[in-house]
Structure 1
């Protein structure tokens, strides 16, 4: 049995006449009659009653035709779904992100992408950069917004698209003398306990903060390392030191913390959208095009 047999039977049921059904199918009547007879022989039942006025389905024919319609309808859906997936219009996309990226980098991109691809299911996972790199390498993430480009050890398998920079700010606990300043001189951090991003979780962020201090002749006295910015701000609010992190921390509005620019202004942190090398799935390709268009605009 082939799909054409289903179409032949449905056409015959619709037109109730071999001649009209054959004309609708674009074939001659004798081959249609032969194919219907062969189908009935294969099934072992009569599908149509032949009368002098045409044909009509038997009870067995009605049951067969109902299922035949479902088969052809599902086939049409399968073809449509495959085409949509091939154009990146459906599917699932797992995106990793940093907290500051969700506040600064991602909103415009996600809004534009959901407008253009409403049927794509987005799985958003807040993870530190190091965890995102691991997840990209093992395939559990499709793309991730990380701090800095992928580490050297991963660059044979990962590539990235720069998204932009954020300047560094100092997070100063309430009551500290520096809260009255318009900006925090980096040299003023020389004797202060510092709270930085963990090198294990955010190596690029930690390296930038250390480089800023050392460029000003300050050897950092690291009191604590934080695995995320919420923890960094919480430790500052407890009075355990002065934090250094991206300006995006201003969006978190943590009680007991004053955020001030550093002086001199530092180059800041660069955010990248990282993904695996190799053939890009259609849905990821659509997301990357959206990212480029938004940031180019």
Structure 2
């Protein structure tokens, strides 16, 4: 039994005449009569009464046609679902990201992606670069945004593309002596308790800060590790010390904090988007396409 047999039976029930039904389905009347007879033989019951007034479904035919309508509807729905999935319009995307990605990159990307792909289940979670990298390598994420490429077994199968560049700034509470200054020097930072990304959670950023400030920058006055820029700013506002983070923190400036440039300038590790090279998911491809449209400077790399 094939889908065409169901369509033939439904057409015959609608038109109640072999000739009109044959015209509706685009075949000649004799083949239609033969197909209906074969269908009845396969079902093992007479589905239609042939009378002088027309052709009408029997009780068995009515029962068969009810199921046939639902079966054809499901087949059409299945084909539609497959087409939408192939275009990346349905499915799931698991995204991990560092907090600073919400300051510039992700708001525009996620807004566009959610608008254009409303039926995709987006599972987004903030996590450190280290945690996100492990999750991507373990197959728990489809896309990860962090500072620095994932490391560990399987890292060679990961594609990493820079999607943002930033430099270091310092944030202090409104009552701090540095408040009101346009800039602070790396030498001045050595005399302060620092609040910054931890070596375990953000190894690339921590290494860059230690390189810029020297080995003693974190040991002279001590330091506090924080996972995201919002915690860094909050602890600085509490007067705990001087927070260090990306210049994009200015987008989340608090009224009880002050942000200074750091001299000489310190370039932070790139904000990168990472994903598995062998992932052929249409949803992932759709997400990367949105990113490519909104971040022209990474278009060639993502392509």
Q: Distance in 1 between matches of 2:64 and 2:112?
A: 47
- Conserved? CA contact 1:145–1:272, under 8 Å: yes
1:21-50 Cα deviation digits (max 9, x unpaired): 223333333332233223223333322111
1:153-178 Cα deviation digits (max 9, x unpaired): 55312111211112211122342222
1:200 aligned residue: 200
Match of 1:243, SS state, is strand
- Conserved? CA contact 1:166–1:268, under 8 Å: yes
**TM-score (norm: length of structure 1):** 0.90
- Please give the residue correspondences for 1:53-202 in structure 2 after superposition, counting only pairs within 5 Å: 53-151=53-151, 155-202=155-202
- Please give the residue correspondences for 1:247-258 in structure 2 after superposition, counting only pairs within 5 Å: 247-254=247-254, 256-258=256-258
**Displacement of 1:232:** 2.5
Q: Which moved more, 1:92-101 or 1:111-120?
A: 111-120
1:220 aligned residue: 218
Q: Which moved more, 1:225-234 or 1:67-76?
A: 225-234
**Displacement of 1:256:** 4.3
- Conserved? CA contact 2:8–2:32, under 8 Å: yes
1:198-219 Cα deviation digits (max 9, x unpaired): 11111122122222213xx964
Structure 2 portions without partners, runs of 5+: 298-303
Q: Distance in 2 between matches of 1:168 and 1:37?
A: 80
Q: Distance in 1 between matches of 2:149 and 2:193?
A: 28
1:296 aligned residue: 296
1:26 aligned residue: 26
1:96-118 Cα deviation digits (max 9, x unpaired): 11222112111121222234333
Q: Distance in 2 between matches of 1:157 and 1:257?
A: 42
Q: Distance in 1 between matches of 2:216 and 2:187?
A: 6
**Displacement of 1:62:** 2.1
Match of 2:165, SS state, is strand
Match of 1:55, SS state, is strand
Q: Distance in 2 between matches of 1:132 and 1:29?
A: 64
2:236 aligned residue: 236
Match of 1:179, SS state, is coil
**Displacement of 1:255:** 5.9
What root-mean-square deviation, in Å, do the aligned CA atoms of Structure 1 and Structure 2 show?
A: 2.2
Q: Distance in 2 between matches of 1:231 and 1:24?
A: 69
Question: CA separation of 1:176/1:26 partners in 2, compared to 1, >3 Å: closer, same or farther?
Answer: closer
**TM-score (norm: length of structure 2):** 0.89
Q: How many residues align?
A: 295
Structure 1 portions without partners, runs of 5+: none
Q: Distance in 2 between matches of 1:173 and 1:281?
A: 46
Q: Which moved more, 1:118-127 or 1:196-205?
A: 118-127
Match of 1:199, SS state, is coil
Question: CA separation of 1:69/1:235 partners in 2, compared to 1, >3 Å: closer, same or farther?
Answer: same
**Displacement of 1:133:** 1.0
- Conserved? CA contact 1:143–1:275, under 8 Å: yes
- Conserved? CA contact 2:100–2:228, under 8 Å: no
Question: CA separation of 1:106/1:120 partners in 2, compared to 1, >3 Å: closer, same or farther?
Answer: same
- Conserved? CA contact 1:186–1:218, under 8 Å: no
2:301 aligned residue: none
Q: Which moved more, 1:230-239 or 1:273-282?
A: 230-239
2:274 aligned residue: 274
